[in-house]
Structure 1
Amino acid sequence: MPAGDYALAVSAKAHPTARKPATRRQKRDRLVAVGFLAPFMILLLIFQYVPLLLMARNSLYDYTLLNPAAEKFVGLRNFTDMIEYDDAATSFGITFLFALGVVFFVIPVAFSLALFLNSKLPSRGLVRTIIMLPVVTSSVVVATMWSFLLDPSNGLVNGVLGILGIGNQPFLTSTSQALAAIIAMTLWQQVGFGAILFLAGLQGLPPELTEAARIDGATRRQVLWNVTIPLLSRTTLFVVVIMTVFSLQAFAPAFLMTQGGPQESTNLIVYHIYNTAFIMQQAGYASALSVALLLVVLAISMAQMALLRSRWNY
């Protein structure tokens, strides 16, 4: 054997898993993939990551949108103002209460709907479409519709209450009812999305587990509590995180239905950021609030990834 061929043979034996050079077709496929991905990546960079960097930079300045050239570097003063003044803490507290209310009601209602949809129903596709219709409807349309429904003078809900002998309720003008009213609206809009997620989890469960439980003499309730719900723990956690993050970013209910009132009882954090930037003309402070909200959402997402790491699958 020639020396060169012998060296190549020894090298191949010594490195059996050595990477082969990319063929012409592989290089062409990579170029095609980059070509398809490039427009999306460019748009993502321009409209998401660059604005995030600008927001982080603006949070260190004090300026107004009417005269942005007169900006003044203040360092971390905007963040210390968030701690010193109670407006941010109050708005975050209201937002967390809103998110807690949404999650508390969405989870059981969505799970019940998923169990209903998972059964043998006639026209199941039509029923699922009806349940998902509010989800795909614009939040502006939903908020406007519910504003008419909950109108304290001539709203449909108060009309029904009047027929039942109950007086008109100040749903959107009462400090004790306004937040509950927008929670109810959000529940109506988002429960279909949670139900579809739970339905996907139910249909992914292995049927042999429930069949084995039935053979062992377990009732339907026992199967539900001891088999179905534990196996849906990851799906439940996913729905909780999705609904929490969605609730933390809610804007349309506070803007269109209550304008943050009465007495700031529905002053959600995104609406508070909007008022701070465009009404009070404190764009730097609004950027600092946005950075704080971003960190909260990232913390929840990281907690989701940590909790979803499970040693078992089905």
Structure 2
Amino acid sequence: MTTTATAETATPSISEQKARHRPSIPRFFRSEGWTGLLFLTPFAILLIVFQYLAFALMVRNSLFDYSLLNPANEEFIGLGNFVRLLGDSRAHQSILVTLLFAAGLVILQIPCGLALAMLLNRKRRGVSLIRAVVFLPVVVSMVVVSTMWLFIYSPENGLANSFLEAIGIPAQPFITSASQALPSLIFMSLWQQVGFSMILFLAGLQSIPTELEEAAVMDGANAWQRFWHIILPLLNRTLVMVVVVSTTFALQAFAQAQVMTSGGPEGSTNFLLYNIYTFGFTHQQPGYASAMSIVLIVIVLIVSAVQMRALRNRLED
């Protein structure tokens, strides 16, 4: 009896024999990491094709001089496009205009967005509706917003001049004036984008424990002291993110100039991205436009790095 049991135990079954000869599957493919990789693959392909591959192609094109009408007839000029950029006064003006636009927009957008967030960070009837109304322009295309404000800024029958005349102020040229065009586009962009900053600041404010403010009130701190010593330090990460993201978007301004001003008057709204578009498609110089695109990327990276470092050092002190 014992011999029979030992023999049965020593002889593996057919299923056990198949399991032994079955190839082992690595742990990664049996884990959730494989599922996550499958979901990330389409995005990774799009990222490689439309970002990294496109960037490599742009760098390559910046070293050549050719026309879109005859791309096969290209000439390698090395850094010639970048040397030309150093002496191009129009490119210098577009860089300056872009920096002024970004600085003016961010300087206004950050305090306005924070003020709106603090004002709407309350549980009252109708607050949710007001938040939605303020945020609504953010989801509207800038092309649509620019077209709408083109009629508002109309020097003849525009809504802005009708309002000014109603309160006794003479009509203004707005986007037809070299001195008023850029401020007019800054105000329009502020109206469209302030809701984005408001939502981010609102999320940061709602993550601050209410017990801290309540304790400060009991200690006799006024509203300004609570804001400066409690709210602002706890919003440092949100503030850095809002400033960097808003600046990045502002440095890529294009639709405002394309729809409303065509870069004028006198180049006062000739943003760098619009200048790239002009040289690439209107003047048929994609090599030179690619060189300006690389300069724009470098400017965005430098400005973002300086902002992040300055704000973090300022708020951590």
Range of TM-score over shorter length: 0.7 to 0.9
Distance 1:237 1:223, change over 3 A: same
| Residue 125 of structure 1: aligned partner | 128
Aligned to 2:162: 159
Q: What SS does structure 2 have at the residue aligned with 1:69?
A: strand
Alignment of 1:1-314 (within 5 A): 27=30, 29-303=32-306, 306=309
Partner of 2:176: helix, strand, or coil? coil
User: Which structure 2 segments of 5+ residues have no match?
Assistant: 1-23
1:81-117 per-residue CA deviation (whole Å, 9 max, x = no partner) reads 1112222211110000000110111111111100111
Q: Residue 192 of structure 1 aligns to which amino acid in structure 2? A: G
The superposition leaves residues 126-168 of structure 1 with CA deviations (integer Å, 9 ceiling, x where unpaired) of: 1111111000001110000000000011111111222223222
Give the secondary-structure state (helix, strand or coil) at the position aligned to 1:63.
strand
Aligned amino acid, residue 167 of structure 1: P
List, as ranges, runs of 4+ consecutive aligned residues in structure 1 with deviation greater than 6 Å.
none
Largest Rg, 1 or 2: 2
- Once residues 38 and 278 of structure 1 are traced to their aligned partners in structure 2, the CA distance between those partners, rounded to angstroms, is 33
Deviates more, 1:92-101 or 1:151-160: 151-160
- Note if contact 1:92-1:268 (Cα within 8 Å) is conserved in structure 2: yes
Secondary structure of the corresponding residue to residue 265 of structure 1: coil
Matched-pair contact (CA < 8 Å) for 1:234–1:308: no
Match in the other structure for 2:20? none
Would the aligned equivalents of 1:238 and 1:304 in 2 still touch at CA under 8 Å?
Answer: no
Q: What is the alpha-carbon root mean square deviation over aligned residues?
A: 2.2
1:268 is aligned with what amino acid?
F
AA at the equivalent of 1:276: F
Match of 2:17 in 1: none
C-alpha distance in 2, partners of 1:259/1:111? 32
Distance in 2 (CA, whole Å) between partners of 1:251 and 1:178 is 14
Amino-acid identity (%): 51
* Letter matched to residue 273 of structure 1: I
Q: Distance in 1 between matches of 2:171 and 2:264?
A: 19
Aligned equivalents of 1:269, 1:25: Cα separation in 2? 47
- Aligned partner of 1:216: which letter? D
Query: Equivalents in 1 of 2:38, 2:204: separation in Å?
Result: 36
CA distance in 1, matches of 2:311, 2:163: 45
Q: Letter of the 1:107 partner, please give it.
A: I
Instruction: Give me the whole-angstrom Cα distance separating, in 2, the residues matched to 1:302 and 1:26.
Output: 39
Counterpart contact for 2:62–2:287, Cα < 8 Å: yes
Q: Tell me the TM-score normalised to structure 1 length.
A: 0.87
1:181 Cα deviation from its structure 2 partner: 0.6
